[in-house]
């Protein structure tokens, strides 16, 4: 399985205007009480007197080094190279780990669906109309050069990301009207009427930049100069495109805050880059990489039979993953005329034999993806409920009739790799869409030969694509798999210059603003957005708005299920596969808490270097 191609903000969630917390601070004029955190629907697991999160070891030792690879991206980050340390703009391929060099106003609790707690801000109050937040900045917050981190820096950061940031940030922040410093310790953020429930939490987790630093540097430029940060790590050294290493800030002001205690314990974090998965696996065997999440079923099944595994120096385990699996597949670029007809897209989807692929290539390790909210209560199943119908009925004229029945599920093949019944059905749909066969060539309604380019930057999925390409050929579609370097891939996908690409979209437990970027009509027209399929559907937009306007979790689940039905009816992608777990391989030199956070793997954030274990395996 491939990791996310783009992740906007890990765990982006939402603000609720209700839900009192224990022992609130006195209210400001026109504002509710100052609170130490907030969540989507007002519920918090930790009170203001909590000393640490339950899934950390508050006394974890600091020290040692962990070496890993990037497995999730945000902003302009790429998986196999980097040429800039500015990950928050469209230009360049951003380096791994740069988010760790910046603090945010608040930070997530990884055992709650969407709660955040104070980091650079010690608390926040909300206006009666829900359109203004006032953050109280923490007096000890500092940038790495010792200068104070103030409300002016936070305001500058929010407005700069809105005006000049990567589209993944700028689009989400469009309903932030203003952010300004009332004084050095008070940040005021104003939202436009109708702002989404999710937006204030997105703002709470944005990186805070030094305004003074960026008066001397253009924010939107790519650069290998490490920007002035304020987070738990700073850049130590790097070699462009090969590795980047971070050192822990020993006197970091946030170390013992309740939301940070027991986290980020390694003295050094090093991210290694490889253009080839097999080379990366060999690097793990040599302990160049010491903590690895495996995404390839073949390697997990056959690639870990080496001496360090057999003698126990390397441990393998499967960690449960309670987060929604989202959706992964080959996505069509519907901006291109050949993919404009829903019947064509469905026909192409019928030509992927998942059952054969899972058995013969993936060792039976996966389940077929059907939903945009796979592995979660938000997945639509069966007939729409009365609550779903209340959202769908006003859209009846805009959506296919199947939306009001059971949701679309990819058919189960006979496992032969060439299911004749599915081939016949695909051929029938293509003919209905106006395509015609001339010998071995399928022609589009325009008369042009139907040709497809599958674009990727890694050959790892070529074995999985081979059966699809073969079946496409059988119906007369000439398909080629093209592998380009990561930089070219990024440029082409940002500009929507492709026929089909693979992508996995992750979903948080409380989907919100990220949906606008992933499936919203405005994003379909915005270069660099995550709406790679070009989904521009007024029904989808209205259901996304319903998700964002949900006042309770029950309403959220209902709206997501309705949205899922419409998206699945659109046949925007050929669904691939998922599994609800993390495959982890580690050199046995780390300690970890007894409790894993519910909504994250917890590594490396909550782990630590164990000197005694390292000595036992000869790595001390």
Same domain (yes/no): 183, 102: yes
CB atoms within 10 A of CB 353: 24
d(CA 381, CA 26): 46
CB atoms within 10 A of CB 495: 10
pLDDT in tens, 600-609: 999 999 999 9
Residue 69 domain flag: no
Residue 195 is predicted with a pLDDT of: 87
Which of helix, strand or coil describes residue 47?
coil
Residue 75 domain flag: no
Same domain (yes/no): 568, 522: yes
How large is the average pLDDT for residues 493-501?
A: 97
d(CA 293, CA 154): 34
Range of lowest pLDDT (261-265, 337-341, 480-484, 506-510): 506-510
Longest dimension (CA), the chain: 79
Residue 12 has pLDDT above 70, yes or no: no
pTM higher than 0.95 for the full model? no
Residue 7 is predicted with a pLDDT of: 34
Q: How confident is the model at residue 460 (pLDDT cuts 50, 70, 90)?
A: confident
Same domain (yes/no): 497, 435: yes
**Residue 351 belongs to domain with CATH number:** 3.10.105.10
Residue 18 has pLDDT above 80, yes or no: no
Residue 29 is predicted with a pLDDT of: 56
Residue 409 has pLDDT above 50, yes or no: yes
Residue 405 domain flag: yes
Same domain (yes/no): 427, 563: yes
Domain of residue 494, residue span:
327-578
Same domain (yes/no): 53, 199: yes
Same domain (yes/no): 557, 489: yes
Same domain (yes/no): 355, 296: no
How large is the average pLDDT for residues 33-53?
A: 95
pLDDT in tens, 222-276: 999 999 999 999 999 999 999 999 999 999 999 999 999 999 999 999 999 998 8
Residue 198 is predicted with a pLDDT of: 82
Q: Are 205 and 108 a contacting pair, CB within 8 Å?
A: yes
Same domain (yes/no): 339, 358: yes
Among the three residues 162, 183, 214, which one is the final residue of a domain in this structure?
A: 214
378 token code pair:
């938000």
Residue 52 domain flag: yes
Same domain (yes/no): 309, 406: no
Same domain (yes/no): 346, 316: no
Residue 534 domain flag: yes
Instruction: Identify the helix (H) or strand (E) that includes residue 591.
Output: strand 590-591
Same domain (yes/no): 276, 358: no
Residue 23 domain flag: no
Domain count, the chain: 3
Same domain (yes/no): 457, 542: yes
Mean pLDDT of all residues belonging to the chain: 93
Which of helix, strand or coil describes residue 197?
coil
**Residue 119 belongs to domain with CATH number:** 3.40.190.10
């Amino acid at each position: 399985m491939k990791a996310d191609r783009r992740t906007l903000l890990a765990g982006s969630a939402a603000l609720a205007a209700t839900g009192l917390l224990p022992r609130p601070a006195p209210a400001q004029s026109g504002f509710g009480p100052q609170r130490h955190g907030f969540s989507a629907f007002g519920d918090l697991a930790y009170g203001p007197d909590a000393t640490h999160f339950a899934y950390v070891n508050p006394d974890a030792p600091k020290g040692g080094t962990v070496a890993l690879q990037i497995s999730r991206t945000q902003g302009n980050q790429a998986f196999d190279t980097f040429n800039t340390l500015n990950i928050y703009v469209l230009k360049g391929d951003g380096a791994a780990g740069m988010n760790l060099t910046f603090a945010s106003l608040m930070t997530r609790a990884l055992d709650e669906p969407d709660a955040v707690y104070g980091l650079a801000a010690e608390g926040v109050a909300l206006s009666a109309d829900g359109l203004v937040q006032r953050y109280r900045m923490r007096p000890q917050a500092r940038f790495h050069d010792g200068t104070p981190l103030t409300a002016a820096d936070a305001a500058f950061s929010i407005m700069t990301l809105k005006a000049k940031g990567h589209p993944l940030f700028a689009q989400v922040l469009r309903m932030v009207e203003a952010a300004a410093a009332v004084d050095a310790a008070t940040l005021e953020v104003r939202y436009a009427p109708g702002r989404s429930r999710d937006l204030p939490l997105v703002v709470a987790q944005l990186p805070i930049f030094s305004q003074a630093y960026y008066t001397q540097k253009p924010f939107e430029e790519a650069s290998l100069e490490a920007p002035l940060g304020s987070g738990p790590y700073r850049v130590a050294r790097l070699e462009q495109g090969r590795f980047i290493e971070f050192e822990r800030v020993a006197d970091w002001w946030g170390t013992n805050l309740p939301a940070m205690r027991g986290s980020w314990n390694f003295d050094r974090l090093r991210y290694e880059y490889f253009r080839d998965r097999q080379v990366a696996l060999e690097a793990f065997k040599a302990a160049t990489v010491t903590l690895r999440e495996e995404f390839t079923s073949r390697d997990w099944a056959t690639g870990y039979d080496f001496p360090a595994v057999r003698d126990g120096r390397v441990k393998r385990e499967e960690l449960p993953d309670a987060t929604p699996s989202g959706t992964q597949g080959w996505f069509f670029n519907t901006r291109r005329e050949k993919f404009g007809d829903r019947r064509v897209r469905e026909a192409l989807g019928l030509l992927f034999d998942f059952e054969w692929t899972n058995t013969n290539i993936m060792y039976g390790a996966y389940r077929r993806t059907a939903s945009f909210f796979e592995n979660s209560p938000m997945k639509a199943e069966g007939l729409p409920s009365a609550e779903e119908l209340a959202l769908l009925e006003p859209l009846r004229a805009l959506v296919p009739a199947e939306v009001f029945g059971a949701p679309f599920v990819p058919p189960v093949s006979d496992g032969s790799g060439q299911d004749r019944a599915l081939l016949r059905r695909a051929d029938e749909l293509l003919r209905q869409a106006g395509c015609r066969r001339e010998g071995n060539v399928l022609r589009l309604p325009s008369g042009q030969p139907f040709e497809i380019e599958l674009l990727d930057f890694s050959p790892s999925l070529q074995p999985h694509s081979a059966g699809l390409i073969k079946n496409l050929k059988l119906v007369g579609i000439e398909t080629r798999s093209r592998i380009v370097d990561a930089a070219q891939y990024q440029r082409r996908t940002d500009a929507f210059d492709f026929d089909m690409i693979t992508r996995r979209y992750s979903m948080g437990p409380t989907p919100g603003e990220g949906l606008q970027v992933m499936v919203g009509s405005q994003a379909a027209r915005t270069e660099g957005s995550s709406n790679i399929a070009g989904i521009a559907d007024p029904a989808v937009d209205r259901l996304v708005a319903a998700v964002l306007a949900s006042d309770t979790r029950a309403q959220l689940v209902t709206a997501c299920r309705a949205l899922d039905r419409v998206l699945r009816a659109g046949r925007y992608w050929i669904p691939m596969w998922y599994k609800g777990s993390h495959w982890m391989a580690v050199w046995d030199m780390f300690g970890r808490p007894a409790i894993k956070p519910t909504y994250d793997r917890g590594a490396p954030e909550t782990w630590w270097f164990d000197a005694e274990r390292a000595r036992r395996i000869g790595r001390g």
